[in-house]
C-alpha cells in the first residue's frame, strides 16, 4: 500500500481516489473548496462534483497541503489547467524529493501557451525526471464504477511512466506507457475544443455524418499543431488522440460537447460558463490554441470557428458556412509534410 495524494477534488479526482482505494492504496484528496471536506464527511459522498458514489471513511479529504503531501509516494494533479500553476506552486515545498508526479490536467496555459508539462517543470524543479502525464478516453463516472478503461501515461524519460504504470495498472484501468509527452498533452487539450464543435453540430441537427467529419478533420488539426510543437504523429492515432477525441465528441457526459449543445440553443458561451460549477476545458483552451496556431502559422479552421463562437459571439450558421465553403484541399495537406 502506498499513500497517493490526489490534488483536486473534482469529479475525476474523486473517481481516482475511489479507484486508488480499490487498488489497495491509501488516498488523500486535497480540496480547493474550504467547505468540501466537512461536507464529504457528513454526506459520505462528494455531492458537489461526483454525486451518487459513496466515499469510504478511510479516504481523507483535506484543504491542508501539508497534510495532503505528507508521506505521499505519488502525487496526482487533477485541477483545471488554468489553476495548475498556482496549485503546483502551493505544493512545491511540501512534496518530498523522489515523489512520483502524475498530471491529469488537460489544456494550454493562456498567455504563455505553455503545455502542462512546461508549467510543472517551471514550478516543481526537483521532480522534473519523475513527472508523467495521463490522458485518454475516460469519464469520471466510468472510473468511479470500475468500468474498463484504458489510458496513456507519458514521460520523457519513460521510466517515470513505467513506475506509475506498475503502481496503478489493473484489469479495470489499463495503463499504456508512452515517451511522447507533447503528443499526449496536445491530444488531451485540443480534443476538448473539437468536442464543442461537435456539440454545436449535434444541437443544430446537422447529422451524424457532420459529426464524423468534425472528428476526423479535428484530428487533422490536432496532428498539425502537435507535430509542429514536436510531437510524434503516431501518438494521435492512440488513446490520447483519436481515443479521447471520440469519447469527448460523442459522449453525453462530456462537458465540452454539452457546452456546444447549449451554444446551439442560442446561449452565449460566457453566460454558460458563468453558470457552471465544473470547468469545460475546451472553452479555456480555445483562446490559447487560436493564438498559438496564428503565431505558428498552423491552419486550424474548426478550432478557429470555436474560438470565434465562444469569444466573439460569432453566428453559428455563419461558422458552419465558413467551414463548408473553404477552398478545396488535399486531404492530408499539412500533415504528411509537417507543414
Residue in 3, 191, 228, 336 annotated catalytic:
191
Query: Please, are residues 155 and 161 in contact by the beta-carbon 8 Å criterion?
Result: yes
Residue at grid coordinates 508512452: 178
HSE of 171 in the Cβ direction (CA atoms, 13 Å)? 0
The helix or strand, by DSSP H or E, that contains position 10, with its residue range, turns out to be none
Q: Is 329 designated active site?
A: no
Query: Please, are residues 334 and 313 in contact by the beta-carbon 8 Å criterion?
Result: no
Cα–Cα distance, 150 to 127 (Å, whole number): 26
Cα–Cα distance, 111 to 292 (Å, whole number): 10
DSSP 36-91: HHHHHHHHSEETTTEEEEE--TTSEEES-HHHHHTT-SEEEE-S-GGGHHHHHHHH
Catalytically annotated residues:
191
Amino acid at each position: 500500500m502506498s499513500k497517493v495524494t490526489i490534488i483536486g477534488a473534482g469529479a475525476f479526482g474523486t473517481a481516482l481516489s475511489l479507484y486508488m482505494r480499490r487498488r489497495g492504496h491509501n488516498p488523500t484528496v486535497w480540496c480547493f473548496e474550504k467547505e468540501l471536506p466537512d461536507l464529504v464527511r457528513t454526506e459520505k459522498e462528494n455531492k458537489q462534483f461526483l454525486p451518487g458514489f459513496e466515499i469510504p471513511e478511510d479516504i481523507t479529504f483535506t484543504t491542508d497541503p501539508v497534510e495532503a503531501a505528507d508521506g505521499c509516494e505519488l502525487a496526482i494533479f487533477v485541477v483545471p489547467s488554468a489553476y495548475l500553476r498556482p496549485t503546483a506552486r502551493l505544493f512545491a515545498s511540501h512534496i518530498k524529493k523522489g515523489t512520483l508526479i502524475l498530471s491529469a490536467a488537460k489544456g494550454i496555459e493562456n498567455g504563455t501557451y505553455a503545455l502542462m508539462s512546461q508549467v510543472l517543470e517551471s514550478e516543481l524543479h526537483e521532480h522534473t525526471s519523475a513527472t508523467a502525464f495521463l490522458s485518454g478516453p475516460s469519464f469520471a463516472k466510468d472510473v468511479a464504477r470500475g468500468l474498463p478503461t484504458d489510458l496513456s501515461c507519458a514521460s520523457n524519460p519513460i521510466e517515470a511512466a513505467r513506475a506509475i504504470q506498475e503502481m496503478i495498472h489493473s484489469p479495470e484501468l489499463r495503463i499504456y506507457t508512452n515517451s511522447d509527452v507533447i503528443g499526449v498533452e496536445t491530444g488531451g487539450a485540443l480534443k476538448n475544443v473539437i468536442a464543442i464543435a461537435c456539440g454545436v453540430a449535434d444541437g443544430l441537427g446537422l447529422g451524424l455524418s457532420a459529426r464524423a467529419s468534425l472528428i476526423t478533420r479535428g484530428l487533422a488539426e490536432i496532428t498539425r499543431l502537435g507535430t509542429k510543437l514536436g510531437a510524434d504523429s503516431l501518438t494521435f492515432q492512440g488513446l490520447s488522440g483519436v481515443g479521447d477525441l471520440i469519447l469527448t465528441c460523442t459522449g453525453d457526459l462530456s462537458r465540452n460537447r454539452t457546452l456546444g449543445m447549449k451554444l446551439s440553443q442560442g446561449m452565449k458561451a460566457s453566460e454558460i460558463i458563468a453558470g457552471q460549477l465544473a470547468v469545460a476545458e475546451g472553452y479555456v483552451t480555445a483562446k490559447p490554441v487560436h493564438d498559438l496556431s496564428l503565431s505558428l502559422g498552423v491552419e486550424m479552421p474548426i478550432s478557429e470557428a470555436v474560438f470565434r463562437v465562444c469569444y466573439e459571439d460569432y453566428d453559428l450558421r455563419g461558422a458552419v458556412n465558413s467551414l463548408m465553403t473553404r477552398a478545396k484541399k488535399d486531404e492530408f495537406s499539412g500533415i504528411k509534410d509537417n507543414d
